[in-house]
Amino acid sequence: MSESYKSAGVDVEAGYEAVKLMKQHVSKTFIPGVLSDIGGFGGLFEIEKLNYDRPVLVSGTDGVGTKLKIAFIMDKHDTVGQDCVAMCVNDIACSGARPLFFLDYVAVGKNRPEKVAQIVKGVADGCVQAGCALIGGETAEMPGFYPDGEYDLAGFSVGIVDKNKIIDGSRTKKGDVLIGLASSGIHSNGYSLVRKLFNLNGNEDDKKLARYIEALGCTVGEELLKPTRIYVKTLLDLIEKFSVNAVSHITGGGFIENIPRMLPDGLRAKINKGSWEVLPIFKLLQDLGNISERDMYNTFNMGIGMLMAVEASQADEMLKYLKDKQENAFIIGEIIEGDNGVDIC
């Protein structure tokens, strides 16, 4: 043990203990193809046996953002890892790709092994939901950079898809129906605004988050810390069974920025308000800040976390299939001719 390094605020023994504690969570994510355990210099994954004719690797990276501030206040750290995984693997799945593996990066002010293990537990839970392996990562202790008790969390994932099965929006056409999959809540974007609206500035924040709101059916903190839904298995199942022409993950930028990303030139998305359930948390946020409707749709997912453009002839059948599987899904609009963009009416 380096006493000199420890005197500077970095405890390497705590790092060893954190790795020991997280191994039980990491091991449950292992899938065929994993060739290494955590602790090496690189995560190894073999793709040769996956039986892809023309394999294309698809990657995605993201972090949790200032939603972490809610976890700090509540001292609850076992769900934000799922947020980190979700923000990466949901993006990958939009291309029709199956996530293979994930790596995380945790930067802490003070390495407290039990807390780091809880963070990684959330990452591992997310990987299990996505069907991918957690094959590595990094925990960096950075005293003087992050305050004791705070941390940042980011990660990246790599997936795979056959080249002829890539979903890039090129097959999208006028008349395609838009089917949305429900979100679990705010997911992981817009939290700088959320914290401002709830006046989370350090003064009795724990009491504010402990306030029960009947419309939400839970406390403010419980609502704000609900983890991002992982849509991977549902989405890949639908792509296998139906004609899915385009997919959009509704994250930062909401409807207005994300939906056009899945559309070719000359097509617009027409969204029909009232065709799905806008979750109570969004109505509450809009009222708290007197926020314009455009700003709401340009910031939040409004209750729709994933959107697909599908063949009109298959839309009703897909909706029935989803509801038979207890998936909360809605026909919320259609593709029309026009400049690339979104009409919400």
| pLDDT attached to residue 30 | 87
Lowest mean pLDDT among 16-20, 179-183, 331-335: 16-20
- Between residues 6 and 178, the one the model is more confident about: 178
- The pLDDT, as a whole number, for residue 18 is 64
Per-residue pLDDT at 6 exceeds 70: no
From 124, 139, 165, give the residue that closes a domain. Answer: 165
Give the number of domains in the chain. 2
Is residue 171, in this structure, part of any structural domain at all? no
Residue 108 shares a structural domain with residue 242: no
Q: Of the residues 165, 191, 208, which one is the last residue of a structural domain?
A: 165
- Say if residue 290 is in the same domain as residue 157: no
Within a 13 Å sphere around the CA of 11, how many CA atoms are in the beta-carbon half?
10
In the structure, what pLDDT confidence band is assigned to residue 203 with cuts at 50, 70 and 90?
Answer: confident
Residues 55 and 160 occupy one common structural domain: yes
Mean pLDDT of the 310-332 span? 97
- Beta carbons of 77 and 176 less than 8 angstroms apart: no
| 135/195 same-domain check | no
One domain, residues 181 and 65: no
CATH number of residue 146's parent domain: 3.30.1330.10
Half-sphere exposure for 92 (CA within 13 Å, toward CB): 30
Can you give the pLDDT at residue 3? 63
- State the amino acid at position 159 in one-letter form: G
Give the pLDDT band (50/70/90) at residue 121. very high
Regarding whether 184 and 149 lie in a shared domain, the answer is no
Enclosing domain of residue 317: 177-344
Beta strands in 7-82 (DSSP E): 55-63
Residue 23: predicted pLDDT: 76
Tell me if 170 is assigned to some domain. Answer: no
Q: Say if residue 194 is in the same domain as residue 128.
A: no
Q: Is the pLDDT of residue 255 over 70?
A: yes
CATH no. for residue 312? 3.90.650.10
Q: Is residue 237's pLDDT more than 70? A: yes
Residue 221 sits in the same domain as residue 310? yes
Q: Could you tell me what percent of the chain has a pLDDT over 90?
A: 84
Q: Rounded to an integer, what distance in angstroms lies between the CA atom of residue 310 and that of residue 45?
A: 33
User: What pLDDT does residue 25 have?
Assistant: 82
Q: What's the angle, vertex CA 119, arms to CA 180 and CA 67, rounded to 5? A: 50
Give the model confidence (pLDDT) of 48-100 as tens digits.
878 899 999 999 999 999 999 999 999 999 999 999 999 999 999 999 999 99
Residues 6+ apart with CB under 8 A from 277: 182, 303, 328, 330
Q: Give the model's pLDDT for residue 176.
A: 98
pLDDT per position as a tens digit, 141-170: 999 999 999 999 999 999 999 999 999 999
Q: Do 103 and 187 share a structural domain?
A: no
**Looking at the domain assignment, is residue 33 inside a domain?**
yes
| Average pLDDT for the chain | 93
The yes-or-no verdict on residue 315 having pLDDT over 60 is yes
* Same structural domain, 219 and 111: no
pLDDT digits (tens, 9 = 90+) for 10-22: 555 766 676 676 6
The secondary element (H helix, E strand) that includes residue 156 is strand 151-162
Q: End of a domain among 165, 194, 211?
A: 165
188 and 154 within one domain: no
Q: pLDDT value at position 39?
A: 66
Q: Would you say residue 4 has pLDDT above 60?
A: no
Co-location of 328 and 300 in the same domain: yes
What are 265-290's pLDDT values in tens digits? 999 999 999 999 999 999 999 999 99
